[in-house]
Amino acid sequence: MLDKNSKIYIPGHKGFVGSRLLLNLQGNSFTKLITRSRKELDLFNQKAVTDFFEAEKPDCVILCAAKVGGILPNSTKPAEFLYENLQIQNNIIHQAYRTGVKKLIFLASSCVYPRNCPQPMKEEYLFQGDFEPTNYGYAVAKAAGIKMCQAYNEQYGTNFVAINPSNLYGPGDHFGEDAHALASIIRKAHIAKTNNDNTIPLWGTGIACREWLFVDDLADIIRQIMLSENISENFLNVGYGQDLNMLELTKTILKVVGHEARIELDSSKPDGMPRKLVDTSKMSKYNLKASTDLEEGIAKTYKWFLENAA
């Protein structure tokens, strides 16, 4: 059984999800949190990861480390996304098994579902169609991680849980040129407001639908999953349970930012998957819930952006 005195290792503790998870656990009085920077531990190096696990012997691993990015880097660097994510998760998952880790939580992605997946996307729809072409490298790696957790559970009796968050946003996100859609739109809306521009660009047709999960809700859900002894799933969706199209998302962001602008659609750019709404039935069965309203979450994100990234 894991508790507040368990040794918890968070690979990727400086990343978007990892940094918010670290704050959540610190705020809930967890006392033995293990972190290593990239300079301190090269997760691509199998021997370095092996030596680390044998020395530290964590009780729990929450695998947040990954190469991530928006639609542009995913579509132009599929080999990097495939190779780097496979290397990280293969090294960590295998050493977690070898050193007797009590529980591992692997962060997958809703990108693993087929491009034309029935909505909402149920866990059993995995591998029921082709991946979205614009992010297939990332999707293949994450799907492999899900199956790796399942295989180790079946063969070795481990307790490895793969969770599948919907699109994430919130404080600590990356707001650069290769950011995810919501963060990118916040940056564009802020620039338009600052420069008094009356237009804002938006990639695609605006009709693609996305579900957005506030990162601090995810961090809280991860903590609950970590402490629960009742969750028997190999693979579990985690989402907010509602989606909206990209045009409406942009209008909501402009409202929060406090700027009126005409949205210029660039239909020459890809939409990505037509829709991504995860089915949260299994998540609800375990009384797990994301509670932050989208507009409230965007306001908190924009506040963090103004204070840290603008």
Query: What does the pLDDT look like over 235-292, one tens digit per residue?
Result: 999 999 999 999 999 999 999 999 999 999 999 988 888 899 999 999 999 999 999 9
Q: What ranges do the domains of the chain cover? A: 8-169+212-242+276-291
The predicted model gives 100-110 an average pLDDT of: 97
Instruction: Note whether 258 and 303 are within 8 A (CB).
Output: no
**Interval 4-56: pLDDT, tens:** 999 999 999 999 999 999 999 999 999 999 999 999 999 999 999 999 999 99
8-169+212-242+276-291, superfamily in CATH? NAD(P)-binding Rossmann-like Domain (3.40.50.720)
How far lies 32's CA from each of 22, 28, 59, 287, in Å?
A: 11, 12, 10, 27
pTM above 0.85, yes or no: yes
Active site residues: 138
Joined together, the tokens standing for residue 84 give: 């780097």
Tokens 């009384």 -> residue: 287
Residue 167 per-residue DSSP state: E
Tens-place pLDDT, residues 196-248: 999 999 999 999 999 999 999 999 999 999 999 999 899 999 999 999 999 99
